[in-house]
Amino acid sequence: MRRTRIGAGATLVAGALAVTGLAFAPAALAVAPGTATITADCGSFGGGEATLTATQNGTAATITVNSSAITAPIALGEDSISSTLTLVKASGGTTTFTGTENPAMAAGDPVQVGPLSGTVASGDSLEAFGGSLKMTVFGITITCTAAGPQSPGPFVFD
- Interval 80-86 mean pLDDT: 97
How many angstroms separate the Cα of 144 from the Cα of each of 4, 110, 133, 139? 66, 15, 5, 16
Say if residues 88 and 131 touch (Cβ distance below 8 Å): yes
pLDDT at 151 > cutoff 80: yes
Would you say how long the chain is, in residues? 158
Summarised one tens digit per residue, pLDDT across range 122-138 is 999 999 999 999 999 99
Summarised one tens digit per residue, pLDDT across range 23-75 is 344 445 689 999 999 999 999 888 999 999 999 999 999 999 999 888 888 99
* Exposure letters 16-37 (e unless 16+ CB within 10 A, then b): eeeeeeeeeeeeebebebeebb
